[in-house]
């Protein structure tokens, strides 16, 4: 989930392509590497719809069983972390800078934590529905939801292609010679390095994203400026997307 992150130094484990070039600096960050405003709005809409559905069920069951009504309310709160795993994913990004260029390796670790959450959601909700059937056998139909969560968790665990897609693994290797402009967005400690290149989809120009650790923005920025002293430097907001920025 967005709040479950492995604490580990990944820098020594990465398969760097510039390994023969002396390292100037390296670090790793955990960030929401996308347009967070859109994601926040999406979570609000999903939560509103989900809340409407589950609380409607709770109100419907209230006259028959207070326990089942509480189960419905509990399901809403159990589902909220699952929704956040879709809209509030964070990426682990590892950087390595040399005198000639930089490398960036990134991936999303959420798949490792979503599976157990889905599994335990299925188990807990399944037990709750099973207990409710002692009061009313019709509640057995409520097992469809927990069974669906369990099946989804199993599918996620066994699908290599799905895990690769969700991880969003990327490896960038860029040279300082290609830098055309440098932009700093202080709010997100993000340095945008504008470059033109052909990545297999035709030539284009965009800002490559270099997120900095807290307290190290100026150090990273000064180094990049020293490698591209003749390009323009600006301070402004960047529109971030999954691959690059504008």
Q: Where are the domains of the chain?
A: 34-89+110-167, 172-235
Using left for φ > 0, alpha for ψ between -120 and 50, and beta otherwise, residue 100 falls in alpha
Each residue's pLDDT tens digit, 85-110: 667 778 899 999 999 999 999 988 76
Give the per-residue pLDDT at 222. Answer: 97
Each residue's pLDDT tens digit, 193-228: 999 877 666 777 899 999 999 999 999 999 999 999
Give the per-residue pLDDT at 242. Answer: 77
What is the reported pTM?
Answer: 0.70
Cα dihedral 16, 18, 24, 26, rounded to 10, equals -20
Comparison of pLDDT for 236 and 80, the residue scoring more: 236
Q: Is 175 helix (H, G, I), strand (E, B) or coil?
A: strand
Longest C-alpha distance within the chain, in Å? 76
Give the per-residue pLDDT at 3. Answer: 44
Q: Average pLDDT of 131-139?
A: 59
């Amino acid at each position: 989930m967005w709040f479950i992150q492995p604490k580990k130094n990944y820098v020594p484990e990465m398969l760097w392509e510039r390994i023969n070039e002396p390292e100037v600096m390296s670090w790793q960050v955990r960030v929401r590497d996308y347009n967070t405003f859109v994601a926040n709005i999406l979570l609000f809409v999903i939560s509103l719809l989900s809340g409407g559905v589950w609380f409607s069920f709770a109100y419907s069951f209230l006259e028959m069983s207070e326990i089942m009504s509480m189960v419905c309310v509990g399901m809403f709160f159990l589902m909220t972390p699952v929704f956040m795993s879709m809209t509030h994913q964070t990426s682990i990004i590892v950087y390595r800078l040399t005198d000639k260029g930089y490398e960036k390796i990134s991936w999303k670790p959420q798949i490792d934590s979503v599976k157990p959450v889905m599994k335990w959601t299925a188990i807990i909700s399944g037990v709750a529905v099973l207990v409710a059937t002692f009061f009313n056998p019709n509640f057995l139909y409520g097992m469809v939801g927990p069974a669906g969560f369990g099946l989804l968790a199993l599918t996620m665990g066994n699908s290599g292609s799905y895990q690769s897609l969700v991880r969003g693994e990327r490896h960038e290797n860029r040279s300082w010679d290609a830098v055309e402009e440098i932009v700093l967005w202080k709010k997100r400690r993000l340095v945008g390095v504008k470059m033109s290149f052909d990545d297999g989809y035709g030539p284009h120009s965009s800002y490559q994203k270099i997120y900095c650790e807290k307290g190290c923005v100026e150090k990273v920025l000064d180094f990049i400026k020293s490698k591209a002293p003749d390009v323009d430097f600006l301070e402004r907001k960047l529109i971030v997307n999954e691959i690059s920025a504008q």
